Amino acid sequence: MSWFWLALLCLLFWGGADLFYKKGTDERDRYSHLKIAVWVGLLMGVAALILLPFSETGFSLSSLLVNAVKYSPASLAYIISMVIGYAGLRYLEISIVSPVQNASGAFSMIAMMLYFAATGTVNEDLGDFEPGNLAGTGLIIAGMIALGFVESRLARREADRLAATDAGKRANRKYQFGALALLFPILYCIFDTIGTAADGIILNEETGLGLGEIDVLILYGLTFLLAGIGAWVFLWIKTGKPYNPFAKNELLNKGTAALFEEGGQIFYVYAMAKNPVLAAPMVASYCIVSVVLGRIFLKEKLKASQYACVAAVIAGIVVLGVMEGLGEMEA
């Protein structure tokens, strides 16, 4: 399967994950983000243990430790960014959070290009950057960045409006921090940029660190499992009782979000291994799926400017798909 279809499946899965992350977030629960982390860590850990016998570099304790050190810049950056993102969902809609967060796709692409240029492999890794691919990627990046600015402006405007009335502020907790709430997706963007760029370098078939796709899924899953266990212990200490992730009200949304997250992670890893520079911004455009699903299922309102940004990203994906199809025909 080509990198394009892998990236497309990834963005569909992660867009679905965003929807269920939001549905599983309780704005009144200050530990809601940690409970989501417990679920994601649990499911990713189980998947990693299932994959362990298929490790491409062996699964002895020594090899696990060595590979864990190699992959730690990516895994830690991802986990930090995701927990920050879960926290941000307490205060902002996914149609605001996701576009701002996923500007990381553009920044990580730039970071990878600089790295490949510095290591002398720029021609190998940018070989697929034909005019059509440049145009498609440009549309995706421009649409995501524009949507991020639009959402930021709308969030500030809503915060200012609600700040005028005490009743409005009490009734709309998600806006009570105003523009400060945007720090969550901004911090997510910074850490996710680090993680995505590190993944592109580590997984690159020409310049990577010798870790295969299955190895990365195992290492990330086990690292997130440890983070999830840590979050579970913290919750027990702070609340005085063990958190039960299998309770009916926790299982449906948080469990479904974790399933979508792991599914997207599998497609993401293989897409990044095949074409990291083009896959990164396309995968990050899953924010468009999040925005559309938020409009359909959560009744979040969209304005004409938001629809224009969504259309630009979709057009960019179509262009990349056409270019990929033409490339396969020529081959």
Q: Quote the DSSP letter at residue 298.
A: S
Question: What gap in Å lies between CA 271 and CA 253, rounded to an integer?
Answer: 27
Question: What gap in Å lies between CA 162 and CA 159, rounded to an integer?
Answer: 5
Average pLDDT over all residues of the chain: 82
Share of the chain above pLDDT 90, in %: 36
Share of the chain above pLDDT 70, in %: 82
pLDDT, one tens digit per residue, over 11-26 is 999 999 999 999 999 8
The reported pLDDT for the residue numbered 211 is 80
H-run or E-run covering 200: helix 183-203
Positive or negative torsion for Cα 323, 324, 329, 331: positive
The reported pLDDT for the residue numbered 101 is 79
The reported pLDDT for the residue numbered 127 is 47
Q: 122: pLDDT confidence band, cut at 50, 70 and 90?
A: low
The reported pLDDT for the residue numbered 296 is 87
Distances (CA, A) of 59 to 56, 69, 264: 8, 14, 24
Contact assessment for residue 41 and residue 207, using Cβ atoms and an 8 Å cutoff = no
Q: Which two tokens stand for residue 60?
A: 């002895």
Number of residues in the chain: 331
Per-residue pLDDT at 181 exceeds 50: yes
Question: How much of the chain is in helix, strand and coil states, percent to nearest 5?
Answer: 80, 0, 20
The reported pLDDT for the residue numbered 60 is 76
The reported pLDDT for the residue numbered 43 is 96
Range with the lowest mean pLDDT among 31-45, 63-77, 121-135?
121-135
Q: Which residues contact 2 (CB under 8 A, 6 or more apart)?
A: 274, 324, 328
Rg (the chain; Cα; Å): 20
Contact assessment for residue 211 and residue 63, using Cβ atoms and an 8 Å cutoff = no
Per-residue pLDDT at 61 exceeds 60: yes
The reported pLDDT for the residue numbered 70 is 82
Mean pLDDT of all residues in 286-308 = 83
Per-residue pLDDT at 95 exceeds 50: yes
Per-residue pLDDT at 168 exceeds 70: no
pLDDT, one tens digit per residue, over 219-276 is 999 999 999 999 999 999 999 999 999 998 899 999 999 999 999 999 999 998 888 8
The reported pLDDT for the residue numbered 155 is 66
What residue ranges do the domains of the chain occupy?
3-330
Mean pLDDT of all residues in 165-178 = 51
Contact assessment for residue 291 and residue 310, using Cβ atoms and an 8 Å cutoff = yes
Per-residue pLDDT at 125 exceeds 50: no
Mean pLDDT of all residues in 185-199 = 89
Mean pLDDT of all residues in 134-158 = 77
pTM given for the model: 0.83
Mean pLDDT of all residues in 191-206 = 84
